[in-house]
A and B are shown apart, each in its own frame.
Chain A
């Protein structure tokens, strides 16, 4: 018995030490090189304000402030002029937009050249001569089946994000059933659970690359995407529309096979800053509750850079939390002890809910002028509803996406249609994140594949990248006025606009404040250097 206990004690100690050391470890250990040192930082309040530096991955501070001011003076309810009023009109619009992209591709000679180089829009180039010797442009298309690999969290504290891919799978079930797939090929989405642990993402992609060999892949999470980005680019496999807003994905030169999708965290951080400058008293103390991994650090770095140049923000205090934390009580108590004027939750997954609840219990929401939840926590059914009354009054820079569980979109044509189809193909429209996969990402992947299919050479790995990098379309799941598209080497970010909204817990809805902010084409590309930034 005693020996048993000793054995258990030793085993438990080793396991727990590993867990303790690995708590935030799916970030730094797996990032390409050195990660920025964890800053328990105050922005240097008393240092002279420097000339605002332009950050990669986000519009300039001046453009951001101007766009915010303009949006504040607009009406949130204003209807877009010429917006399609039926699904047929939407289909016609998308068909014409796709055709315009294909016409441009033909006119500008986009595609894989005889010498192995790739010509794309706005100076975008790649060189497939650097790809592995056995690389194939059409690997992953076999017997009329296009295989796409996905890694995501399906367990652990970020497991809810796995719902995105339940929605995406339902979308392609619909495409396969109703349209016979794309260009005669059915689309099979193979999903592996990485638990939001970067080492497991690497394991999963080793298996994908060696045995399943998909045409393209997709990853969720900043640490996870960083962990396999070099492998994707070395293997010349498209890492498409990754589910993370890290600014690092806007790098068409060094990492041409990786494309981002959502509003960058840097843009979001700058919008927080611009909003704070416009709406709070000077000398504001801002406290950020930061998830301690690449995801949280992206927010932290971008906001710290902004705060350092701001005369308005007197201090930016950071409290970090373990991504796998069971509770955030201690962390939020520390945050409350700084008496924040503005509290920003820079977290994801279940901690989104915990941050809201604990901030209310710690009294932050009674005393702070404003409190923000990040765009990745916007989903109502997933993160706001579980927080109950405590969610009332929280603000969000929402990234422009319509939430399918928000009652104000009940009559929205695309949401309505998508919800019916989602339910028909095995999904659940009461789950916000399934809508992210179906209405939002599913639509975008569909357009990408359709454009690639019509380009010279048809659906290939190269054409998937070119289709994305030349895409300029009207996205039905985004708010009117939010642009959606990239332009080769000139613009590497799909979504550069956002809404600002405040949560109404009684109505379980986001109430948009003013018009949308559109910064399309204004975010410089970002070659991310670990420890330094863009």
Chain B
């Protein structure tokens, strides 16, 4: 029982991390119908922005409290990342024909490599200690039937909830959000009714970059801050977004949790069950942790190509 609960907690813990990056992926997809392959690297860069303010420069030391420093640094990093995202959109993607996706996809792939290399040059590949936004020592936990639930997991989930609520407000209660949804639904129609699509696209990139950076700041203390930190996370985030729905922010968050739980429970149990054999036949699963989430994703996409909460599009022919 304890192990089962622990695996569920582990699933939520990892799932919240995947969800935070998946939400950023979905925001860009909603705006452009494109997957930004550089999302993870942009988020990593954002985490380094926070590191500069919180640790490297000592600029925020006057605030005194460690948590106040890292929260402030995270907000500054979100702002800087938003500017970076908007700049990338304006300078690198907007000049291309929005109907022709290939050049923009190639640009995001190039950004993936470029940002990683630049980060390596600036900060080196040696792992760094990133302060956590939540109490995160091995003692900072509650115990439920012997299973450990850490404060930083609870904090990550709560932050994700707040992020989703803020996004809901932005997208549904503001003019820019209305424009964003209009562009997301149909770029041509939005343009015809006077929406400045370029500005909206920049807004989408900025929003995604800011929340991606927040996700990276949250996850960095757990996986160490270094240029390659998001490489493996972003794969799960892609799977999460696909499962939840590529154009559904809430769906992506849910997808992250589903992927996290599937990975934890699937690999933890299926990999160790004997099924009547002397050796567990699926004992390769723990060493290939992506396999079960991918199978789940395929099953979901098979039955619901738009994902669990993605919009089913019907085109008039």
Q: Which residues of A contact B (CB under 8 A)?
A: 1-2, 4-6, 8-9, 12-13, 16-17, 19-21, 23-24, 38, 40, 154-157, 159-160, 162-163, 292, 319-322, 324-327, 329-331, 333-334, 337, 350, 353-354, 357, 360-363, 365, 381-383, 385-386, 388-390, 428, 431-433
Contacts and interface: CB of A to CB of B under 8 A. Distances in A.
Contacts of B10: 329-330, 333
A428 B121 CA distance: 13
Contacts of A20: 288, 290-291, 294
B233 interface: yes
Contact of B294 (A16, A156, A319): A16
Contact of B223 (A4, A159, A354, A388): A354
Nearest to A357: B222
A17 B223 contact: no
A322 B267 CA distance: 12
B298 A350 contact: no
B74 to A, nearest CB: 19
A390 B17 CA distance: 21
19 contacts: A2-B312, A12-B238, A12-B242, A12-B297, A13-B297, A24-B287, A38-B283, A40-B271, A40-B280, A155-B117, A322-B288, A324-B231, A327-B14, A330-B10, A333-B10, A354-B224, A363-B148, A385-B129, A431-B126
Contacts of B246: 5, 8
A19 B7 CA distance: 24
B306 A2 contact: yes
Contacts of A154: 120, 125
Contacts of A330: 7, 10, 14, 263-264, 267-268, 286, 289
B135 interface: no
A361 B228 contact: no
A333 B6 contact: yes
Given A16-B297, A157-B228, A329-B13, A361 B150 contact: yes
Given A40-B271, A292-B287, A363-B138, 12 more contacts: A4-B101, A8-B242, A19-B235, A20-B294, A40-B286, A154-B120, A159-B120, A159-B227, A327-B14, A327-B223, A333-B10, A382-B126
A321 B267 CA distance: 11
Given A5-B310, A157-B232, A325 B289 contact: yes
B128 A386 contact: yes
A159 B125 contact: yes
Given A40-B279, A156-B231, A322 B125 contact: no
Nearest to A9: B301
Nearest to B116: A155
B148 A362 contact: yes
A381 B263 CA distance: 32
Given A40-B283, A353-B127, A361-B138, A322 B289 contact: yes
A98 B125 CA distance: 36
Contacts of A431: 124, 126
Contacts of B298: 13
B290 A322 contact: yes
Contact of B305 (A6, A326, A382, A433): A6
Given A1-B315, A38-B287, A292-B287, A333 B127 contact: no
B248 to A, nearest CB: 12
* A-B CB proximity, top 9 nearest: A326-B232, A159-B125, A20-B290, A292-B287, A360-B138, A40-B283, A320-B287, A386-B127, A20-B291
Contacts of A24: 287-288
B35 interface: yes
A334 B224 contact: no
A388 B140 CA distance: 14
B103 to A, nearest CB: 15
B223 A326 contact: yes
A325 B263 CA distance: 12
A155 B126 contact: no
A23 B287 contact: yes
Contacts of A326: 17, 223, 231-233, 236
Report which residue of B124, B238, B279, B283 has the largest number of chain A beta carbons within 10 angstroms of its beta carbon: B124
A2 B126 contact: no
Interface of B: 3, 6-7, 10, 13-14, 17, 33, 35, 101, 116-117, 120, 124-129, 137-138, 141, 148, 150, 222-224, 226-228, 231-233, 235-236, 238-239, 242, 246, 263-264, 267-268, 271-272, 279-280, 283-284, 286-291, 293-294, 297-298, 301, 305-306, 310, 312-313, 315
Contacts of B138: 357, 360-361, 363, 365, 390
Contacts of A386: 127-129, 224
B286 to A, nearest CB: 6
Contacts of A360: 138
A17 B3 CA distance: 28
B226 A160 contact: yes
A304 B224 CA distance: 31
B291 A2 contact: no
B305 A2 contact: yes
Contacts of B315: 1-2
A290 B299 CA distance: 31
Contacts of B236: 326
A245 B287 CA distance: 22
B126 A160 contact: yes
Contacts of B286: 40, 319-321, 330-331, 334
B272 A40 contact: yes
A333 B287 contact: no
A362 B232 CA distance: 22
Contact of B268 (A9, A292, A334, A365): A334
A322 B290 CA distance: 9
B6 to A, nearest CB: 5
A21 B288 CA distance: 7
Nearest to B184: A1
A327 B17 contact: yes
B313 A1 contact: yes
A8 B108 CA distance: 15
A365 B231 CA distance: 29
B272 A159 contact: no
